[in-house]
């Protein structure tokens, strides 16, 4: 086991984060999002179900703060020195009377941050109100600054090494979707088909293996496809069903999303028309997506097509995507929706997902797009049409 990238890559990421910290006057930054921790130092383990943080300072760190039984993973998967790995005792796990954050607050004070200006992530999955309360109680002189998404916005611009890794994830996404297309037919249980799809995601290629995607693989079959995130079940696919797959590939925690649609039988005119609109919409988005375009203007290109077809979609059509653990592969920064006045930078990677959850059925088409110097490249190479299965 070794870190996913060279040390110079992590050094550069740290440098970029510290640059923003200095600009905001932060002495330290506490991360609770395991995706951000992984991105910043490579740390990779399924350990974030008990409290786990990273403290980024301006010179000596960053410091991994986590459970004793997981400290070994910090040695295997990062370049951190033993001085940068701060384990809390096992006895603090899941107690009513105390919290690991109480222990960590003492360490933070002793490390010199008792009166510092400290940023923290306020809206991440794995830094709870109770953890934050224990930190605040233990560090009463700290000036706390909401620094949510600070790292995420830095992550928005991908390095060459990250793009190369995401291209590998895209190869896996293609294989997974091909497995879904090949296996979808009436009578096949959803769970059996998804077993094959997930196995393909994990197996990867002969050259490199895959990981579980951060978003649970989704199969939207029949009326369940009228909602966005249903779980598979054991019922068989049925003739005349439209089945959307929201899959992807994951490589070294980097996720590439890929959604496609299959129809089992002869498609209705409504499906044909909707699919046509969605494919045209994707083309319009890809034509509009380039460095320094406003996210809202990319959405407008989609909306123009949708209006022409008299269709409606209330939700955003995309977001930035990258390194992530469950439950989300989105980076929570860029959102493509009306009037979003944020410029899309070169080397952003975004997942444009055109999900049409209709009345009693639904379809999806997505692409993970790399914003290049002159426009955008799709990472996965997979036909965009609705795949028809004779039933």
Interacting positions 17-36 with a copy of itself (CB under 8 A):
none
Interacting positions 112-141 with a copy of itself (CB under 8 A):
122-133
Q: Distance between CA 70 and CA 84 in Å, rounded? A: 14
Site membership for a copy of itself, residue 381 (CB under 8 A):
no
Site membership for a copy of itself, residue 180 (CB under 8 A):
no
Per-residue contact track with a copy of itself, 303 to 342, x per CB under 8 A? -----------xxx--x-----xxxx-x-x--x-x-----
* Residue whose CB is less far from a copy of itself, 86 or 194: 194
* Residue whose CB is less far from a copy of itself, 190 or 368: 190
Site membership for a copy of itself, residue 208 (CB under 8 A):
yes
CA nearest neighbour of 196 among 209, 179, 212, 175: 179
SS3 readout for 210-266: CCCCCCCCEEEEHHHHHCCCCCCCCCECCCCCEEEEEEEEEECCEEEEEEEEEEECC
Report phi then psi at 148, rounded to 5.
-60, 140
Site membership for a copy of itself, residue 185 (CB under 8 A):
no
CA nearest neighbour of 376 among 384, 367, 385, 365: 367
Is 331:344 a contact under the CB 8 Å cutoff? no
Choose, by CB under 8 A, the member of 19, 24, 49, 383 that binds a copy of itself. 49
Stretch that binds a copy of itself, among 20-28, 110-118, 144-152, 283-291 (CB under 8 A): 144-152
Q: Distance between CA 23 and CA 142 in Å, rounded? A: 19
Stretch that binds a copy of itself, among 65-73, 266-274, 275-283, 297-305 (CB under 8 A): 65-73
Number of residues binding to a copy of itself, judged by CB under 8 A: 87
Choose, by CB under 8 A, the member of 20, 228, 294, 300 that binds a copy of itself. 228
Site membership for a copy of itself, residue 245 (CB under 8 A):
no
Bridging pattern class, strands 318-321 and 242-251 = unpaired
Stretch that binds a copy of itself, among 10-18, 62-70, 293-301, 304-312 (CB under 8 A): 62-70
Least spacing, CB of residue 240 vs a copy of itself, in Å = 17
Is 101:136 a contact under the CB 8 Å cutoff? no
Choose, by CB under 8 A, the member of 21, 28, 41, 45 that binds a copy of itself. 45
* Residue whose CB is less far from a copy of itself, 38 or 378: 38
Q: Which residue has the tokens 């375009």?
A: 293
CA torsion 127→130→134→137, rounded to 10°? 120
Q: 22 by DSSP, 3-state: which?
A: helix
* Residue whose CB is less far from a copy of itself, 212 or 283: 212
Stretch that binds a copy of itself, among 145-153, 299-307, 366-374, 383-391 (CB under 8 A): 145-153
* Residue whose CB is less far from a copy of itself, 118 or 378: 118
CA torsion 139→141→145→147, rounded to 10°? -30
Choose, by CB under 8 A, the member of 42, 204, 318, 322 that binds a copy of itself. 204
> What b/e sequence results for 29-59 when a residue is b if at least 16 CB atoms lie within 10 Å of its CB, and e otherwise?
bbbbbbbbbbbbbbbbbebbebbbbbbbbee
Whether the ω angle into residue 271 lies within 30 degrees of 0, i.e. cis, is no
Least spacing, CB of residue 374 vs a copy of itself, in Å = 28
């Amino acid at each position: 086991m070794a870190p996913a990238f060279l040390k110079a890559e992590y050094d550069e990421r740290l440098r970029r984060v510290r640059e923003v910290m200095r600009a905001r006057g932060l002495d330290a930054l506490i991360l609770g999002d395991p995706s951000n921790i992984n991105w910043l130092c490579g740390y990779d383990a399924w350990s974030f179900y008990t409290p786990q943080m990273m403290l980024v300072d301006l010179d000596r760190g960053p410091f991994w703060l986590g459970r004793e039984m997981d400290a070994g993973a910090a040695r295997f998967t990062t370049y951190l020195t033993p001085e940068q790995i701060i384990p809390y005792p096992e006895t603090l796990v899941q107690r009513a009377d105390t919290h690991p954050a109480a222990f960590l607050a003492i360490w933070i004070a002793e490390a010199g941050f008792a009166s510092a200006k400290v940023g923290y992530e306020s809206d991440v999955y794995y830094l709870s109100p109770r953890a934050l309360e224990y930190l605040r109680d233990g560090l009463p002189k700290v000036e706390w600054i909401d620094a949510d998404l600070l790292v995420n916005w830095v992550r928005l611009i991908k390095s060459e090494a990250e793009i190369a890794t995401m291209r590998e994830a895209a190869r896996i996404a293609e294989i997974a979707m091909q497995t879904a297309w090949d296996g979808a037919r009436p009578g096949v249980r959803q769970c059996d088909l998804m077993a094959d799809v997930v196995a393909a995601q994990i197996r990867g290629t002969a050259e490199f293996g895959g990981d579980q995607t951060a978003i649970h693989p989704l199969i939207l079959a029949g009326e369940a496809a009228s909602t966005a995130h249903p779980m598979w079940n054991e019922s068989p696919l049925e003739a005349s069903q439209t089945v959307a797959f929201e899959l992807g590939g994951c490589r070294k925690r980097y996720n590439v999303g890929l959604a496609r649609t299959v129809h089992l039988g002869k498609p209705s005119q409504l499906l044909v028309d909707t699919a046509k609109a969605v494919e045209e919409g994707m083309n319009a988005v890809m034509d509009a997506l380039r460095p320094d375009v406003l996210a809202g203007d990319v959405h407008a290109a989609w909306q123009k097509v949708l209006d022409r077809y008299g269709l409606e979609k209330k939700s955003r059509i995309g977001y930035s995507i990258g390194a992530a653990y469950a439950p989300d592969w989105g980076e929570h920064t860029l959102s493509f929706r009306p009037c979003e006045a944020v410029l899309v930078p070169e080397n952003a990677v975004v997942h444009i997902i055109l999900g049409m959850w209709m009345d009693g059925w639904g379809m999806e088409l997505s692409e993970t797009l790399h914003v290049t110097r002159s426009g955008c490249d799709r990472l996965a190479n997979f036909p965009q049409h609705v795949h028809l299965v004779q039933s």
